[in-house]
Structure 1
Amino acid sequence: MSTATEIYYDPYDFDIDQDPYPVWKRMREEQPLYYNERYDFYALSRYADVEAASVDWQSYTSAKGILMEMVKAGLPTPPGLFIAEDPPEHDMHRLILSRAVTPRRVQVLEERIRELCAEYLDPLVGSGGFDLVQDFAGHLPMRVIGALVGIPDEYLVSLRDRVEESARLTEEKPQEEQRLPSIGAPYAPFLEFRRANPADDFLTTLIQARFTDVFTGEERGLSDAEILNYVGMLYAAGVETTARLIGWLGKVLAEHPDQRAQVVADRSLVPNAVEETLRFEVPSPIQIRVAAKPVELYGQRVEEGKIVTLLTGSANRDERAFPGADTFDIHRKIDAHLTFGKGVHYCFGAALARIEGRIALEELLNRFPHWDVDLSGAELIHTATIRGYHRLPIVL
């Protein structure tokens, strides 16, 4: 008979990462507040707990770091990296971003997204099969973010590969040896170019932004470091997570061909198919927080300074929130899920991710109403926060 003491969860264990759902289920039932002694962190796995911690930034701070390595190293938050800030600094930087990434700009991208889908998918028609990630999903989000930010296409592939490689965990490069990249450094040449050549894009808006500093009360512009970290954050988050979402759409719908056929026949089902995929397979299933003060949970005391991981991927499979949670159902009524977080740190790019996922699925189905996945050639990418496919061959 299994006992609670036998539960072991480790976000850096590749075997667990292949299919974390069984251990997450046991954690929800037996140890809703789990402690990992090796890496000295706690984990919350139930929907209600992850939701509550997500909105309670006063108790669970993001300001100590967004990666476990960042917290343990005691590294300061890079300026402008607002996902690793709390109010009021977070609100100040997020407001600036909201002025740069406007709903109008996002909507204008719709036509461009369809053009890009055609550019990548049309040559694959009649091919008999292709790699959904390497040939499509890994390219589309970087081109979309590139268009939004103002980065020329010829630089995008090398940037994507550099971002992906910096985040990747390998057996030869375990967690203890990770080094955090300078998230904004690769974009410095584009900043200088845009200063000399303003345009209607994200980078130009940031260069021209003026705001009142919440600490000094003075009006100022963004520093180069703040601008570059804004861009790096938007690129890394927007490209990696959306690429994994499209990969999951391909895999999950291949595993449920009856439901895929329903979507093919009725395109009004596409948005909810995307939403259910976001719930069912979370591209970023682990979020890091630090206890800002002692908290009591399930009869245990979590001391100030301890790392608390919010397992959004587990929360979205909690039967308490979603009956039949381990079943994929494109007709599921989803009032809310935690894939994009909640509260002040709700994912800024959620709307764009949904638009990209919807259009990508529509355009895939327009050309390929049926496909199977060749799992023998599939490869999950292992990072500290992202879960999804690096390679996903499909057979038409």
Structure 2
Amino acid sequence: MAASRAAEAQKRDRAFWLRLKEEMVAAAPALGIDKIGVASPDPFVELKERLVRHRELGYESGFEEPDLDKRTNPALLFDEPRSIIAIAVAYPSKLKDPPVSEPGARRGILSRSAWGEDYHRVLNVRLERLAAWLAERVPEARGLSMVDTGALSDRAVAERAGIGWSGKNSLILTSEWGSWVYLGEMITNLPLPPDTPAEDGCGECTKCIDACPTGALVGPGQLNAQKCISFLTQTKGIVADEMMTKIGNRLYGCDTCQIVCPVNRGKDARHHPELLPDPEVAKPLLQPLLTLGNREFKERFGSSSAAWRGRKPIQRNALIGLGNFRDEAAVPDIARVLREDPRFELRATAAWALGRIGGEEAEAALREAAETDRDGEVVAAAGRALVALAQPDRRTARKSEQR
């Protein structure tokens, strides 16, 4: 039966596939897809060369598919691929009536990609609709869909399919929605005619590179993930002191390179209800996060892509945010984490935060931890915090703040 279906597909001429592609593009909005394009399934030779160099330099995050051949050769993932369909779904970039962060009620922020329902689920539903649409017209159609966690590079496929150009911030930029888009793709056995890649629209602009808080954008389109705040907020361990100061109040992800991008200016998609943000989830109060149990965390953040690493990174980042705000009202809650939390990563981060804030209560908690905590990293963090608090410039600054 499979052979007869393949033979039937081969009988269709180029005009049929061109017409099918045109109908697919026209049907995309009704399927919940904002932009759709087609790429050839040829190996991504240049991409592989860049990825090899990327690995040699130690720029990988560790979240990627480790097999570079699978990341760059669709034929290793799907039997006899004939085309790859790329899709883009736009998401909001602005909060309406955002809650205010103020003394005693400091707030963190999730990156815009995590504001609404988890985009993996959203785009997989879109791709399922697309697969059903294709199967109605071509019964022998086969496809393999992936969103973000698949082996292929979403950005490389989107660029080849004409969805947008690869920006200097390493993101795909579309003329319609800027980089505020989620990407997904479907490898198929359908010989759909490919689109032409979009022309570069960045020109001489380097605002994203210049604005990167940690210098993670080491060149146009080249990202050192190990220094990227978005990556750091998703790790589960202890973050280096100098990086914590740069994380600010970010709980998940970082949008700096997108916010400064001129192409993104004024673009705010709000036509997909499931992607509209709940302000109290997108910009939550920090102190209550410190005591969230697993059930509460899942109830509140479980529908967001920010939940994929669990509550520990979010709670650690909440401590970082409180430390960077230097709000003394948070000291009792942070000190409680330092004394009672069973996770050494959070205790060490709490020590750093208390060292940023200072004051008698903070110093007392740090001295207690330095003397009694059983984990060497926590003891070391408490020691560094106490040394920082003893610096003359810190004490002078605190007196000035209290006047």
Larger radius of gyration: 2
Do these two structures clear the TM 0.5 threshold for a shared fold by scoring above it? no
Return the structure number with greater relative CO, CA threshold 8 A, min gap 6: 1
Q: TM-score, normalised by structure 2?
A: 0.23
TM-score (norm 1): 0.23
